[in-house]
Structures are given as structure tokens and as C-alpha cells.
Chains A and B, each alone.
Chain A
Amino acid sequence: MFWDEKAECMSREEIEELQLRKLQATVKRAFDKVPFYNKKYTECEVFPEDIETLKDIEKLPILTKDDLRASYPFGLFAVDQKDIVEVHSSSGTTGKPVVSGYTKKDLDIWAELIARGLKMMGLDENDIIQNTHGYGMFTGGFGVHYGVLKIGATIIPISTGQTRRQVEIMNDFGTTCLIFTPSYGLHLGEVAREEGVDPTKVGLKAIGFGSEPYTEEIRQRIQESFNAPAYNIYGLTEIMGPGVGMECCAQNGLHIAEDYFYPEIIDTNTNKILGEGQKGELILTNLEREGMPVIRFRTKDITALHYDTCKCGRTHVRMERITGRADDMIKVKGVAVFPSQIEKALLKVSDVEPHYQIIVTRPDILDEIEVKVEASQSLFFDGVKEMMNVQNKIADYIQNEIGIRVKVTLVEPKSLPRATKGKAKRVIDKRNLH
């Protein structure tokens, strides 16, 4: 099933021709309307007229999250604020959040791309879609919402949480599609069984899941738990939100909507462009976005691209499941955690930054974090009670920073591994997600 067969099955030549035209227009608009790009491109001595082929995009500087943050809140907008009809934002846990602005047309494109994905999942106007993504500044809730309206299906905008109510509604309303994060989905399945509702009997046709790392094993567990195929949805606030990439019935990678985004894969260390099938960091460019064109954004997500035509008939490039991060970010319980936040918390309890290590485990379904901290003179007291207090105090500070309770363990000095080359290994992710 296609939402827009013509767009989704264009030949490679047609795609590239369209991309070049849109890229040239986007770079020109960005250069003319956004002082940030004007300054940056002028400094790099690259100008809109230098983009003569798609390959010329490589002349443009790569943007980082810090570049976007420096433009907080509205510095990257390419239209008057009056033309922005909606804003979303990242959680801002590591500093200023990144704000994403949308014009009416941008929202329509967003809806269009989600609609394509819902069709890929085999859904249409007859379906009842229960969206457990949070409604608010998080792009997940509204992005999916607009797409469901677009295909004319019924949306249940229940948002996140209230798990027992989710179960009741799913059962009573006859939900045919659930949208969730993998960990919440597994939890929802368990609660349903506790409540005496068999999730395999609800009549689900499909599941859309995203915004968390997952493995094929987790996908299998979700599919078994609900007896429905589960499709990954990829997106990020900076570029649009969910819908940048969506999985089709082949379940063999996510189709990136190439008429709206230009993906590249680079070697994280050298920034060298890598070829088809090679693993590296995904770089994304908005090819058609009025409100906030983002050009060559480092996503930090590690994946590979495949250009052969998919079994489903679509020609749009497929990206592999995200298998890692180019930075230390870890997603725990759906929350992005950076080691720098842990460092910040540790500096509050001790003058000298203690050595630490973050260990993430998933004993069953839910993630757990343990932070090992090397004890020091200032963190050591001659009393068990005081030592317990130190551990609790550190856990409090960390919770303040990241919003999650972690287990803090004090360990002996020099017992944690030191950096041999470059950065120390601060994060041990034992969840086997990659």
C-alpha cells in the first residue's frame, strides 16, 4: 500500500534531480534569510552558487548540536516568527534545548511523511491508532497525531502513562495500531496480562515503535507480546521529528523520505563520506523546510545506507537500524543521558571531579543505571552511615540532572579503567542493544 506511489517509487535519476533542485533552493534561502548560515558559509568561503551537483553538498560545513543550541531559541528560523505556527523542542537536558519551528506547510509535510509510513505499515482510514507518545514539546506525540489525521484513521491521543487506562481503552475501543517506545510497549503488554487482557487477542494490525535503541530480539518480543508486526519509526527534533525514516512491510531498514531529506554517512573521526553499506555517522539535510532549514546536521547516530530497490517496491534509500552513537549519549528509560550530566552532578559533591563509570543494564524489561564513583579523601568518612549518606547525596544530585534515580556505588581509587588513548570509557552498556 502506498500513500504517494509516484513520490515513493521515483527512479534514482528523478530522485537526484529533485534533490539537487531542492538543495540549491534550500541553501540559497538559508544563506539569504538566516544570519547564522550567511556568516558560517562566508567564513568557509562557500556560497549558494557553488552547489552545482549533489556532491557539492560536501563543500558545506557540518553542523553540530552545539551550533543549533547557540542559535537558541529562534536563531535558525528562516521565516518571520508570525509564520511559525508550532514549535517543539528537545528536552534540553545537556544545556539549552534545540527548538524546532514549523510553518503550516512544514506541518503538512510532516503529516504527509507520517502518512506514508502508516501506509507502509498497512494502515488506512479504517484503523484506530492509539498514540502513547507524549503530547507536548516532544515531537513524538504530535508528529504521529498529524499523520493519523492525514490518512483519515481514528486517533486516540491518550499520550504517555496511565497504563491501566491504556489497556482498558485498547481493549474496549478495539485499537488496531499502537504507537510506543519499545520499553513502554513491553511494559504495556505485561500490564495488560496482569489486568486479564490478552494483548494478542485485541486485534492489533501493526505497531509503530521508536525513540529508543532496540535490537531485533526486542522487536521479536514486542511482536510476540501483541501478535502484530512492529515497525520502527526514526526521527529527531532538529530535522523534523518522527517520520524522517519509516519501516515498510519488508522490515529491512527504514525508508528515508529522500524527496525531503538528503542523508549522508561519514566517518565520525575524519568526516570523510562513506559509501553505500558502510557504517558511519548519519548526516541529514532538510531539502524542503520553510521554518527552519537544517543543512548537514550531525545526528550522532551510527547506521548504513542501502540504495537498491526494496522488496516493497519503494526506491527511497533504506537506513539500517541505529546500532550506536558517535558520542557517549545513552538512552535510558527513553531519556537521553550524557556522561557530562553525571560529571556536573559529581562536581557538586567534591571539589575534584572523581573518576566514574556508568553501567547500564536491563535485568528484564526496564533499564537500570549504576554509577560507580571512586572514593577520595573528601568522599570518605569513618562511618557506614555517613558513607551511605554520601552515596545517597550523589544519587540525589544525579537525579536532579537527569531525572532518573540511579544506584551509586563508591569504589576504591584507581580501580576504574583509565583512558589509554583519548577518552576514558565512561559508559558500559550491558543491554546488548547494538
Chain B
Amino acid sequence: MKIKQLSIFIENQPGRLYKALEILAQEDVNIRALSLADTSEFAILRLVVNSPEKGMEILEKNNFIVKLTDIIGVELDDTPGGLTKVLKILNDENIDLEYLYAFTHDQTSKAILLLHANDLDEMINVLDSNNVKIVPADVVYNL
């Protein structure tokens, strides 16, 4: 159920993001979703890819520091208010969100919201009991 996200340490220097993505492209690792948290000196690049283990291996081989981080994907209506509906639930239930990002794809009229929280299992429980659909990891990898 949990999606394995690649978290990559990137220096805030010209060309570093390109380098990381180029390596993945060369090895046919396909990116499903991406987010970048940046500071003046470094950034954390977060990727959901079709093959997380393979992605990690080739990035590490090229001297990147990578961690596999568990996150959750939930399905949203791709309409105005779709995102806030889910956020309201998390807010009402006092879930401490660390970060989130979202993407749409062309197979359904749904969007997928990717979430990370301090306590992932608690978040899963909350979402389950509020009938929010959690997307299985395999589905996300293979979209």
C-alpha cells in the first residue's frame, strides 16, 4: 500500500537536478511524479518512479545520496475542491503532514495526491475510516 519514494540530496548548483534526472532517463526509469524542496544551499528531490529500487541503485552508483521513503497515494476527484476535501479530513483529525504533492494522469478523471506524515499508519487509518481511496503502490508505479 505504501509507495516507495526516492528522496535525493541535491546541491543547489547549476546542472545538478539535470544530472540526476539524466541518469534515470538513460536507464529507462520513468518518473510518475516529482517535487523539489529547496533551500539556498541544497534541495531534496522527491520522485515517484516506475521502479524505485532500480532508480536508487543507479543514482547511488553515480554518487547521489538516496533514501527510500514511504509515502501514501490517495485518489482525488480532479475537480475544484477535490484536494481541500482530503486536507480537511486530515486537519480535523490532527494529522501532522510533512509534505505533499499531486499529479494527474490520463487514465481516469482522478488525480493522485501523495502524502507524507510523521505517523503514516495513523494517517492510513484516518483516511480509511473516512472512505478516502488509497491507491496501491503497484498501480502508481505502473500508471
A and B from one complex: yes
- Asked if residues B65 and A387 are in contact (CB atoms below 8 Å), the reply is no
Q: How far is the CA of A125 from the CA of B42 in the complex (A)?
A: 60
Residues of A within 8 A of B98 (CB): 383
Q: How large is the interface on A (under 10, 10 to 19, 20 to 34, 35 or more residues)?
A: 10 to 19
Contact residues in B for A388 (Cβ distance below 8 Å): 39
* Contact pick for B63, options A380, A387, A409, A412, CB 8 Å: A412
Task: Decide: A377 near B11, CB < 8 A? Known: A383-B44, A410-B41.
Answer: no
Q: Once the chains are docked, how many angstroms separate the CA of A382 from the CA of B39?
A: 13
Name B5-30 residues within 8 Å CB distance of A: 5, 7, 9-11, 16
Cβ contacts B88-100/A at 8 Å (1 or 0 each): 0000000000110
Please tell me if B64 contacts chain A, counting CB pairs below 8 Å: yes
Map CB proximity to A onto B33-74 as digits: 1 under 8 Å, 0 otherwise: 000010101101010000000000000000111010100000
Closest to B70 in A: A382
A412 / chain B contacts, CB cutoff of 8 Å: 9-11, 16, 63-65
Distance from A393 Cβ to chain B, minimum over Cβ atoms (Å)? 15
| Complex CA–CA separation, A382 to B9 (angstroms) | 9
Closest to A407 in B: B41
Write the nearest CB–CB distance from A419 to chain B, whole angstroms.
18
Q: Is the CB of A377 within 8 A of B64?
A: no
Contacts of A387 in B (CB 8 A): 39, 42, 44
What B residues does A376 contact at CB under 8 A? 65
**Chain B binding surface, main DSSP class:** strand
Q: Indicate whether A384 sits within 8 Å of B65 (C-beta atoms), given known contacts A411-B11, A412-B9, A412-B16.
A: no
Rounded to whole angstroms, the CA-CA distance of A375 and B5 in the bound complex is: 19
Closest-CB distance, B63 to chain A (whole angstroms): 5
Task: Verify if A42 is at the interface (C-beta below 8 Å from B).
Answer: no
Q: Is A389 an interface residue (CB 8 A)?
A: no
**A-side contacts of B44, CB under 8 Å:** 382-384, 387
Q: Does A423 belong to the interface (CB within 8 Å)?
A: no
CA distance A380 to B98 in the complex (A): 16
Are A410 and B42 closer than 8 Å at their CB atoms? yes
Q: Is there an interface contact between B65 and A380, defined as CB atoms closer than 8 Å?
A: yes
Q: Which of A352-392 contact B (CB under 8 A)?
A: 375-377, 380-384, 387-388
Question: 8 tightest CB-CB pairs across the interface, nearest first?
Answer: A382-B7, A382-B69, A380-B65, A412-B11, A414-B63, A413-B63, A380-B9, A409-B41
Q: Which residues of A are interface residues toward B (Cβ below 8 A)?
A: 375-377, 380-384, 387-388, 409-415
29 A–B contact pairs at CB < 8 A?
Answer: A375-B9, A375-B42, A375-B65, A376-B65, A380-B7, A380-B65, A380-B67, A382-B5, A382-B67, A383-B98, A384-B37, A384-B39, A384-B44, A387-B42, A387-B44, A388-B39, A409-B42, A410-B41, A410-B42, A411-B11, A411-B42, A412-B9, A412-B10, A412-B11, A412-B64, A413-B63, A413-B64, A414-B63, A415-B11
